Amino acid sequence: MHDRPRGKRRPKRTLKPDQPQPLRLAPPPDLSGIEPAPAFASLGLSVEAAKGAAHAGYTEPTAIQTKVIPEVVAGRDVIACSETGSGKTAAFVLPILDWLEYDAASIQTLVVVPTRELCQQVTGEFRRLGAAQPLRVAEIYGGVGYDGQRRQIAGRPQAVVGTPGRVLDLLQSKQLTFKDVRILILDEADRMLDMGFLPQVRDILRHVPRDRQTLMFSATIPEEISRFAEVTLSHPVRIQVGVRAKPPAQLIQEAVEVNSSEKGRKLLEVLQAEQGTVLVFVGTKRRADTVHQGLTRAGLRACVIHGNRDQKERDKALRGFASGQYRIMVATDVAQRGLDIKDIALVLNYDLPKSAEDYVHRVGRTGRADAVGRALSFVTIAEYSTLKDIERLTGHAFQNFIPVKSSLGNRRSLPRRRW
């Protein structure tokens, strides 16, 4: 572990005369008429940051924000474990925005995330909360060309949000330097472990100064992540919000038994009854395309997202779903984290995930930030054991689990569909 004393404040840095000057940006919006959010100011944030929170629509901090923000302001390393959808992104973005030196022309903050979608979400939160600041933030991820990201780097950003592979590529080609980074955030560390990214993260850490503040956020803390934290963080404050590996408390969870051949017809029944936005999770990329085609043929406004879709297709689907152009999104687990769309009425597990932990992350797309949400799972006979694993992990008993014969309704109402 590092020898930096607990609670040591980050050293202030000034722009040297020979440093390259940052690009000039349009003036930030005038927030003089905005009243700062008192609850955020009481956490140690400046009046400007509290105004930014109010401007972005924040009024009261969530539990994770209440606990994390004062520790970040104090300069301490943090390991935070909280429920999905708890508002943890703003918990680190707000104090970082307060600390950044906006006249500096070097990268001061690095956020490492596991997926492109989460990279875009975190970058968007920086820009939304930092709208009143001359903020420059670059988003660096794979699946797209390098030219646009090189232009972002040439713009002298103060913050970089990126996925491990592309960040490491640009480091090794000397197009990125993190010599002035003083705050490092590892977001969804357990997901990076699941996706095999920890070796790349370790390589990135070799390019970041040891004299830094490190924040780690994770929905769960498996043993390997705990060992990784011991050598990466210095005397961290450990914060636990909510019950570990549990869906949001206000989430309504249901399960219905179905035959595999009846899933398509049952899905159409549910979508006829549910008029809000629906996120449908399936097990494979091929299944995602098949279900999407079936919904489109049925005249429903649906989009699809999975690993074989290129970045333009994924961006179009996400924008369309967020704007209401599409009411239904069909997705593989590529969207189980990093998808931050308000007011998803229903998460539907067309196929149960392979693990109970992935169930928690899937259903966490609804019922976010204290809103009420609903999750419905289709369960085949072959998936009984997975359902029991989910019950053991979450402590939720699916008491309304409906036997297959009584769950199928009127078979004549819709045609049989083999999806």
Q: Is 112 within 8 Å of 186 (Cβ atoms)? A: yes
Lowest mean pLDDT among 13-22, 187-196, 298-307: 13-22
CA distances from 5 to 208, 238, 275 (A): 18, 16, 54
> β-pairing, 109-112 with 159-162?
parallel
CATH 3.55.10.10 fits 38-241, yes or no: no
Sign of CA dihedral 379, 380, 386, 388: positive
* pLDDT on residue 365: 80
pLDDT in tens, 57-96: 888 999 999 999 999 999 999 999 876 667 889 999 999 9
Where are the chain's structural domains? 38-241, 251-407
Q: Reply yes or no on whether the pLDDT at 4 is more than 90.
A: no
List all residues 6 or more positions away from 200 whose beta carbon is below 8 Å from its beta carbon. 164, 165, 168
- Measured between alpha carbons, how far apart are the two ends of the chain, in Å? 52
Q: Is the pLDDT of residue 116 over 80?
A: yes
Backbone dihedral angles phi then psi of residue 138, each to the nearest 5 degrees? -110, 140
pLDDT of residue 33: 64
Checking if the pLDDT of 129 tops 60, the result is: yes
Distance of alpha carbon 219 from alpha carbon 125, whole angstroms: 19
pLDDT at residue 410, rounded to an integer = 42
Would you say residue 29 has pLDDT above 70? no
- Fold held by 251-407: Rossmann fold (3.40.50)
Give pLDDT, residue 5. 47
Averaged pLDDT score across all residues of the chain: 84
Q: At residue 136, does pLDDT exceed 90?
A: yes
Q: Binning pLDDT at 50, 70 and 90, where does residue 239 land?
A: very high
Sequence-ordered strand ranges (E) for 69-141: 78-82, 109-112, 137-140
Residue 344 contacts residue 321 (beta carbons within 8 Å): no
Q: Which residue has the higher pLDDT, 296 or 37?
A: 296
Mean pLDDT of 187-201: 86
Q: Dump pLDDT digits (tens) for 254-272.
A: 999 999 999 999 999 999 9
Quote the pLDDT of residue 19: 43
> Residue 49, exposed/middle/buried by CB under 10 A (0-12, 13-18, 19+)?
buried
Same fold, 38-241 and 251-407: yes
9 pLDDT exceeds 70? no
Which whole number is the average pLDDT over 272-276?
Answer: 91
**What is the structure's pLDDT at 173?**
95
| Banded model confidence at residue 36, pLDDT cuts 50, 70, 90 | confident
Low-confidence winner among 13-22, 219-228, 349-358 (lowest mean pLDDT): 13-22
pLDDT > 70: what percent of the chain? Answer: 82
Answer yes or no: is pLDDT of 110 > 80.
yes
Q: How far apart are CA 133 and CA 169, in angstroms?
A: 30
